Chains A and B, each alone.
Chain A
Amino acid sequence: MRKIAFLCSLIFLCGQLLAQTRTINGKVLDEKGNPIPGASIQIKGSRGGTSTTADGTFSISVPATAKRLVISSINFTTQEVDISENMSVTLKAGSGSLDEVVVTAYGATKKKAFTGTASVVNSDQFKDLQVSSITNVLQGNASGVLVVNGNGQPGESPAIRIRGVGSVNASADPFIILDGSPYGGNLSSINPNDIESITVLKDASSTALYGSRAANGILQITTKIGKGTPKVAVSATRGYSKRAVDDYKYVNNEQLYGLTWEALRNQANITPGLATSIGAASSEDYASQSVAGVLVYNPFGVAQPIGLDGKLVSGAKSLWSEDWGKDLLRTGQRTDINGSVSGGSDKTRYFISGGYLDDQGLPIQSDFKRYSARFKVDTKVNDWLNVGINASGSYSTQNYPIQGGSAYSNVTGWVRSVSGIYPEFVRDPSTGALILDAAGNKQYDYGNNGPLHRPIFTPGNPAGTTAQNPTTYDRYLTSANAYGEAQIITGLKFRTQYAVDLYQNQYNSYYNPFVGDGAAYGGRSEKTRTNNATQTFTNTFTYDNTFADIHHFNVVVGMEAYRYHQGVVDAESRGFTFPGTTELAYGSTPYTANSYSYDNRMVSYFGRVNYDLGEKYHLSASIRRDGSSRFSDSARWGNFWSVGGAWNINKEAFMSGISTFNDLKLRASYGTTGNQAFLDNNGNVVYFPYLSTYSAGANIAGYAGSVIANPANGRLTWESQKTLDLGLDFALLKNRLSGSFTYFTRKSSKLLFNRPLPPSSGLDGVNDNIGTVTNKGIEIDLTSINVRTHDLEWTTSVNFSKVTNKITELPQTSITGANYSNLIVGQPLNNFYIREYAGVDKTDGAPMWWMDQTDATSGKTTRVVTKQWSAATRYYKGTSLPDWIAGVTNTVKYKGFDLNVLLYINFRGKIYDGNYAGLMYSAVGNTPGSNWSVDMLNRWQSPSNPGDGKTPRLTTTTDDQANSASTRFLFDDTYMRIRNITLGYTFPKSIFGSARINSARVYVDLQNPFTFYKYKGLDPEEGGLEGVTNGGSVVYKTFSAGLSVNF
């Protein structure tokens, strides 16, 4: 209550302050007299400000005492002018991009003084992007940042790696700082409309001040704050989604039956006695007699639909053909409504927002809804004290039907697995007519309604079960971040900041008692409640002063305490009677009850000195000392440091005659960072990785037991990383062309790793510091203003990143990694260590692989083919990590129109398409009735009809192992995707007349409209960072239209 009262009084205060103002109107023009839209108008000596509209005009309320305005705009020289009525200000083209501000650890700096490397993504770049999680905006917008949207489910965040993968058994996710404090919630709980900018900090001089948690880069997320005249902004967007790439092409009913017949025929030819065992006259007869029995469902209405020639008998035709893609996937709909009020005076700035989002996914029932509110205010209490608070609350609910893996209820996997001969609803096999229940309703076919079962995924049918089996994640986030800043003497400030994120994630899963996965248990319901409290208390002194006009110092000294607690309660009940009663109270049998908790605490001390000499030479040095509860008493403290320098060459006298360069800066930095986020095999953080433990819960009936879990390692300490960064920033031709080149090396050593022990030790491994991984690369950023006239402006921005990843040190020759990878010195992470497919033996249609054969006498190794998969040699066949990635953004503004096109390119990298492997199975006995790709029609059929040479013969046993992992299903992942096309129109203010509308904009947006990729059906991002597909969901293409109005 006291907090609410306090907030109310602050709002009241704002009103008071605003009352003592006068309004000034004006216009900002360039040297040719063209209006400059979006120019910033600041009241000198206060925080009040506004910006110009599309026609270059502005209107600002200024305190009676205010004297001057500061006018600035990107690519123009900042000007200071006296306040007058109906002002007209002309800005000179000049000082370039290096005047931008970069948000750094515990402060901000001008880009020209910045010695490190950062990419800034501003709200301008993502305001129209239809994303539900803020990090979705990074793909293609920031160099050095690999973003993979492995999942289409709304509310999920993409995988992000900054400058390659630097950790193996420890989290390689970037560290997320929200308004100066580590963020302790889920990314999807943040409303992207509240975000002003995301700064990606990449090199050591910008990250080392966060020391131990910064090894994999930092995302600094800054929320919006108001300035100038009160502004009310309202926007609404409506969108529609479908798959970004079309699904695989499947065989039809007739083809499915024909192929199955052929497999049976082939097997009868291979296995003697098989045909006679059922009294068949020939292999063909055996196949014709058996095929309907093997597939169980027969949509042709005749008992033996396939004749001895393997073709549909005359008169037989398909009575039904189910399109599961239509039954289980839909057009997603998206509604996003946001409103905000913001403004500021010379003393107080505020931003209040609310948002509602409803984002439906393509799988039936898939949905994400978010309700969010934020209140941010800061105020100058008196001449020495500033205080502020940023408080937000968010509730989101996500219905997340299973999309991936082998569960029967996997909606996306079902479409790719169950062929069209199996209907959604129960049908009469002789006529194909629907069989209705007593009430006249269609009945879902779970595959077990007759004496013979559907041979695949029985009993199951997600069309029937998905609505009855909700899987939801409800997320509650309450955040508050308050600070006070006192000026002690001129130049010296003390700031204290306390941030708390209270985050609860409620996982609920329910399986109904009637049909599907839950029937075996009489229905089951599981509830997991995870509560996180993240607190950070930060105190800093900042000293900023200039001596003798040219020696500028900025010194930061501080300490930080971090406290994290997570408590989990999990319970399950079984035996449910009624549909939809998901609460445990309705279950008859409490099944499990469990709780556990985790803690992490850290204490840190840090300091940084920035020095610049006449804005020509910049030096930066920082140090941080971190202690963490994750390591033993003797190993928990780590020191991390950095040095950096920058030289603004164009400020040198010798450059004064060269007008080509507006900016030219060389920069270099070197430093260390660390990582403590040890992960277990399931990707969960290990909180006490150094302790020797028995693990409880190994119970037999009612007898409690425990087993040895982990051997002790008191020496376990921080993963450490050394980063070298060399860069050149420039702006030329009156800032028409600007950009930067950066070269970096990242060497991660003492990797946090569960060092494998021989399994014969009875232990899986010991948590240890082992091995080294390096990432080396270059990043190029270029921005060109191609055309700039009175009405037309066309800008092109390109970012390019190339990273080479390599394992350079291991404690043993090789370590089996996740998926198909094998860790070995000289190879990259996420590699594919896999058998190499050698095609089909044209004489018998059997699949073959390559094998190294060493001659016993000569010792010479040659490559030969083998038909025994297990005997084939495994080779290193590339990595899922791309060679290089690039983003290209084109922006065209013409009068009131604006057009923005973002293109993303991923070059090389491999993807193993498990989906496709499943669609190309050759052993029919293994998965009869499973869907086939149309590529199966190019199989080997006989020596004279050998097919495409890649697709082997069909059989019913698994002896051939044709589908076992090999390069047959490993594909190049080079692709290009138009991430976004936005076309907007801003109405001229004149049309609103006396209506109190400041500006209005309508726009249409196409997200992921075009994907250029060689392999049809496969989404190049579905494999995620690991590059392996497994029946998952894919990226969506979204069409949306929106309106935003400012009052």
Chain B
Amino acid sequence: MRLTKYILMAGVGMLTLASCSKNFIDGVKPTDGSLSSTIIFSSKIGVDNALTGIYENIRDYIPSIGRQNMYGWKTAQFNFDMRGDDLISDPANWWLYENNWTDNAYGRIATSGRTLQIWALNYKVINNANAVIAGVPGISEAQSVKDALIGEAEALRAWAYFNLVRVYQFTYSKDTTAPGVPIYTEPSGSSTSGNPRAHVSAVYAQIVSDLEDAVSKLTSDRVDKYRINKAVAQGILAQVYLEMAPADNSLWAKAQSNAAAAAADFPLMDANGYKDGFNSVSNGEWMWGLQFNASQSYSYAGFFGYIEPTDITGAAGRYNDIYVNSSFVNLFSATDMRNLFDDATNQSSSSPWKKYVTLKFRDNATQSGDYVMMRSAEMYLIQAEALAQQGQQQPAIDMLYSLQSERDPNAVKPTTTDKQTLINLILVERRKELYAEGGVPYFDMKRYQLPLVRTGIQWSMLNIPADDNRWRWQIPQPEMDANKSLTSGDQNPL
């Protein structure tokens, strides 16, 4: 039985593998593409990596309950464009619910995917920016390098709060003490239980302080156009002051000066540039744009997949489902280079609203066209509006005409002496210049507390008063459920 004794000993030996079990279990680490925050905050390269991730989140984020037309901020912006008067969706295709302001998964109600997309995308920007702001002081780089990284994160954070406060409450000037959105300036963790809705004024104070600091810390340097530099931060600040100025007229001047400084290095594009399809950051007028390469494209699920009408056979996976209101088309003169409207050749006479499509946006060959986020034409219009509001009628007209004449060789210089008439002209010019770029007509209506009154022939003829609750989006239900500082009374009314 000597042999069995050995077997017994061997068996006991195996059982005493206990001592090795720690090494055995500890022998594995994540290899699935995840990184620890210590690696991120070890160098400028790591922080650049984290900042790039924030832009990717802006470009791509979709919530778990999101739908196909909810990839990235561009689709959230387009959702606002579809709520205006100028664009009409095919009632049988994507964007019909946005176009019809339907209170469902695509709408402003608490359970919708769209409101969660808007809310969560911006708060992810904020949290990631907070982590950069908290982590950068610990890296060993020159102070100027650290300043630029922090300034960029502050600008991103302000940009996100500005998006949120404009969607979830009426405009600043309507009521600065109305509940805005929760404010976070520290990175969240597992014990974060949620902050209460801060007053609109507090949210704007945070935005302005971040942007002013960002403008002071940033320079014009950047690795590529997807990153926010000083000019872009000034551009955002100009937008913010424009929103606030009706409540504090001293801010028109700040809107004007920031817009002027922002646009300085970005001359207006020529007619050819306008016809290139709005798909490349190489356009000199673009101040900020999010790039794609071929493998990052979402093809037909991306912005161009909906708005580009060139794919008549449908073979390239386009939906051909966005039409242009003929009353809007009629605002463009024949010689206006922005008059890129085409007959909707593939549509039938039975749908009278299917008359025009727009060729403004066309994807590039690999279906990976860049997304425009800011361009200097808007800065011209902000200056014109701010000048007009300050009573500088002629400089305002000159500024407006400097853009109009660039777009239309036969443009006629406005001659009005009435302030309101001029402002209305500028608002129309904003629609003509910026449609489908960022929900400008929608936010202009909110900004000036105007109703939506649909015109022309549309399948969805809406009339929404300026004080209607539908202008305020509901806070997503998951926020109401999980945020310990919110009760049902904090929700925006249905």
* Chain A residues proximal to chain B, CB less than 8 Å: 271, 273, 277-278, 289-294, 296, 384, 447-448, 451-453, 455-456, 458-459, 486-489, 494, 496, 515, 517, 519-521, 539, 541, 557-559, 561, 589, 591-592, 596-603, 605, 627-629, 633, 636, 681, 687-688, 691-713, 756-764, 766, 768, 812-816, 868-871, 925-928, 956-959, 961, 964
Stretch at the interface among B34-42, B138-146, B414-422, B440-448: B34-42
Contact of A703 with B52 at beta-carbon distance under 8 Å, contacts A696-B35, A759-B478, A958-B100 already known: yes
Q: Which residue of A lies closest to B183 (CB)?
A: A760
Instruction: Judge whether A761 and B192 touch: CB under 8 Å.
Output: yes
Instruction: Judge whether A561 and B50 touch: CB under 8 Å.
Output: no
Contact of A559 with B100 at beta-carbon distance under 8 Å, contacts A278-B349, A701-B226, A760-B479 already known: no
Q: How far is the CA of A605 from the CA of B192 in the complex (A)?
A: 38
Interface residues as binary, B311-355 with A (CB distance below 8 Å gives 1, 0 otherwise): 011111110100000000000000000000000011111111000
Instruction: Judge whether A702 and B352 touch: CB under 8 Å.
Output: no
Cβ of B287 within 8 Å of any chain A Cβ, yes or no, is no
Contact of A961 with B102 at beta-carbon distance under 8 Å, contacts A760-B483, A870-B494 already known: yes
Distance in Å from the Cβ of B293 to the closest Cβ of chain A?
5
Q: Which residue of A lies closest to B190 (CB)?
A: A766
Q: Select one of B102, B131, B481 contacting A813, CB under 8 A.
A: B481
* Chain A positions within 8 Å of B272 at CB level: none
Question: What are 20 A-to-B residue pairs whose CB atoms are below 8 Å?
Answer: A447-B314, A496-B14, A515-B315, A559-B17, A561-B21, A628-B25, A629-B28, A694-B36, A694-B39, A698-B56, A698-B57, A700-B59, A711-B190, A756-B482, A759-B120, A815-B481, A869-B103, A870-B107, A956-B91, A958-B97
Instruction: Judge whether B104 and A925 touch: CB under 8 Å.
Output: no
Q: Select one of A603, A761, A815 contacting B194, CB under 8 A.
A: A761
Cβ of B8 within 8 Å of any chain A Cβ, yes or no, is yes
* Chain A positions within 8 Å of B477 at CB level: 816
Interface residues as binary, B24-36 with A (CB distance below 8 Å gives 1, 0 otherwise): 1111111111111
Q: Which residue of A lies closest to B20 (CB)?
A: A603
Q: How far is the CA of A821 from the CA of B55 in the complex (A)?
A: 33
Instruction: Judge whether A707 and B346 touch: CB under 8 Å.
Output: no
Overall SS of chain A's interface: mixed
Distance in Å from the Cβ of B77 to the closest Cβ of chain A?
18
Distance in Å from the Cβ of A267 to the closest Cβ of chain B?
8
Instruction: Judge whether A707 and B56 touch: CB under 8 Å.
Output: yes
Q: Which residue of B lies closest to A868 (CB)?
A: B103
Cβ of B7 within 8 Å of any chain A Cβ, yes or no, is yes
Contact of A597 with B24 at beta-carbon distance under 8 Å, contacts A293-B351, A455-B92, A694-B36 already known: no
Q: Select one of B14, B26, B187, B351 contacting A539, CB under 8 A.
A: B14
Instruction: Judge whether B32 and A687 touch: CB under 8 Å.
Output: yes
Q: Select one of A277, A488, A520, A813 contacting B457, CB under 8 A.
A: A277
Instruction: Judge whether B314 and A448 touch: CB under 8 Å.
Output: yes
Q: How far is the CA of A812 from the CA of B484 in the complex (A)?
A: 9
Cβ of B264 within 8 Å of any chain A Cβ, yes or no, is no
Interface residues as binary, B472-487 with A (CB distance below 8 Å gives 1, 0 otherwise): 0000111101111000
Distance in Å from the Cβ of B482 to the closest Cβ of chain A?
4
Cβ of B463 within 8 Å of any chain A Cβ, yes or no, is no
Instruction: Judge whether A559 and B14 touch: CB under 8 Å.
Output: yes
Q: How far is the CA of A278 from the CA of B91 in the complex (A)?
A: 17
Q: Select one of B187, B192, B367 contacting A520, CB under 8 A.
A: B367
* Chain B positions within 8 Å of A539 at CB level: 11, 14-15
Interface residues as binary, B156-191 with A (CB distance below 8 Å gives 1, 0 otherwise): 000000000000000000000000011010011110
* Chain B positions within 8 Å of A693 at CB level: 30, 34-37
Instruction: Judge whether A757 and B482 touch: CB under 8 Å.
Output: yes
Q: How far is the CA of A763 from the CA of B124 in the complex (A)?
A: 7
* Chain B positions within 8 Å of A691 at CB level: 30, 34, 36
Q: How far is the CA of A695 from the CA of B39 in the complex (A)?
A: 12
Across chains A and B, the number of contacting residue pairs, with CB separation under 8 Å, is 317
Q: How far is the CA of A768 from the CA of B189 in the complex (A)?
A: 12
Instruction: Judge whether B55 and A705 touch: CB under 8 Å.
Output: yes
Contact of A601 with B27 at beta-carbon distance under 8 Å, contacts A494-B8, A706-B35 already known: yes
* Chain B residues proximal to chain A, CB less than 8 Å: 1, 4, 7-8, 11, 14-15, 17-18, 21, 24-37, 39-40, 48-57, 59-60, 64, 91-92, 96-97, 100, 102-104, 107, 109, 111, 116, 119-120, 123-128, 130-131, 181-182, 184, 187-190, 192-195, 223-224, 226, 290-296, 299-300, 312-318, 320, 345-352, 367, 457, 459-461, 476-479, 481-484, 494
Instruction: Judge whether B32 and A597 touch: CB under 8 Å.
Output: yes
Distance in Å from the Cβ of A534 to the closest Cβ of chain B?
14
Contact of A757 with B7 at beta-carbon distance under 8 Å, contacts A519-B317, A687-B30, A961-B102 already known: no
Q: How far is the CA of A557 from the CA of B192 in the complex (A)?
A: 45
Q: How far is the CA of A713 from the CA of B300 in the complex (A)?
A: 39
* Chain B positions within 8 Å of A869 at CB level: 103-104
Q: Select one of B36, B290, B312, B350 contacting A692, CB under 8 A.
A: B36
Instruction: Judge whether A699 and B316 touch: CB under 8 Å.
Output: no
Instruction: Judge whether A698 and B52 touch: CB under 8 Å.
Output: yes
Instruction: Judge whether A700 and B56 touch: CB under 8 Å.
Output: yes
Q: How far is the CA of A292 from the CA of B351 in the complex (A)?
A: 11
Q: Which residue of A lies closest to B193 (CB)?
A: A758
Contact of A591 with B40 at beta-carbon distance under 8 Å, contacts A596-B33, A703-B52 already known: no
Q: Which residue of B lies closest to A289 (CB)?
A: B350
* Chain B positions within 8 Å of A697 at CB level: 33
Distance in Å from the Cβ of B143 to the closest Cβ of chain A?
24
Distance in Å from the Cβ of A615 to the closest Cβ of chain B?
30
Instruction: Judge whether B123 and A760 touch: CB under 8 Å.
Output: yes
Instruction: Judge whether A762 and B188 touch: CB under 8 Å.
Output: yes
* Chain A positions within 8 Å of B103 at CB level: 868-870, 961
* Chain A positions within 8 Å of B30 at CB level: 687-688, 691, 693
- With most chain B CB atoms within 10 A of its CB, the pick from A708, A709, A925 is A708
Q: How far is the CA of A762 from the CA of B296 in the complex (A)?
A: 23
Q: Select one of B130, B184, B296, B494 contacting A701, CB under 8 A.
A: B296
Q: How far is the CA of A758 from the CA of B32 in the complex (A)?
A: 26
Contact of A627 with B21 at beta-carbon distance under 8 Å, contacts A699-B56, A759-B119, A870-B107 already known: yes
* Chain A positions within 8 Å of B91 at CB level: 925-926, 956-958
Contact of A762 with B123 at beta-carbon distance under 8 Å, contacts A293-B350, A520-B317, A601-B25 already known: yes
Instruction: Judge whether A926 and B96 touch: CB under 8 Å.
Output: yes
Q: Which residue of B lies closest to A287 (CB)?
A: B350
Distance in Å from the Cβ of A772 to the closest Cβ of chain B?
18
Distance in Å from the Cβ of A486 to the closest Cβ of chain B?
5
* Chain A positions within 8 Å of B192 at CB level: 757-758, 761, 763
Q: Which residue of A lies closest to B129 (CB)?
A: A762
Instruction: Judge whether A707 and B33 touch: CB under 8 Å.
Output: no
Q: How far is the CA of A700 from the CA of B194 in the complex (A)?
A: 31
Q: How far is the CA of A956 from the CA of B92 in the complex (A)?
A: 9
Instruction: Judge whether A629 and B478 touch: CB under 8 Å.
Output: no
* Chain B positions within 8 Å of A447 at CB level: 314
Instruction: Judge whether A598 and B292 touch: CB under 8 Å.
Output: no
Instruction: Judge whether B25 and A957 touch: CB under 8 Å.
Output: no
Contact of A520 with B300 at beta-carbon distance under 8 Å, contacts A459-B314, A871-B494 already known: yes
Instruction: Judge whether B481 and A695 touch: CB under 8 Å.
Output: no
Contact of A452 with B348 at beta-carbon distance under 8 Å, contacts A692-B37, A695-B34 already known: yes
Instruction: Judge whether B291 and A701 touch: CB under 8 Å.
Output: yes
- With most chain A CB atoms within 10 A of its CB, the pick from B8, B14, B91 is B91
Q: How far is the CA of A635 from the CA of B278 in the complex (A)?
A: 54
Instruction: Judge whether B348 and A293 touch: CB under 8 Å.
Output: yes
Q: How far is the CA of A559 from the CA of B320 in the complex (A)?
A: 64
Q: How far is the CA of A558 from the CA of B14 in the complex (A)?
A: 9
* Chain B positions within 8 Å of A636 at CB level: 25
* Chain B positions within 8 Å of A603 at CB level: 17-18, 21, 24-25
Instruction: Judge whether B50 and A701 touch: CB under 8 Å.
Output: no
Q: How far is the CA of A335 from the CA of B111 in the complex (A)?
A: 49
Instruction: Judge whether B24 and A561 touch: CB under 8 Å.
Output: yes
Contact of A591 with B295 at beta-carbon distance under 8 Å, contacts A598-B31, A756-B481, A870-B107 already known: yes
* Chain A positions within 8 Å of B226 at CB level: 700-701, 703
Instruction: Judge whether B350 and A290 touch: CB under 8 Å.
Output: yes
Instruction: Judge whether A763 and B349 touch: CB under 8 Å.
Output: no
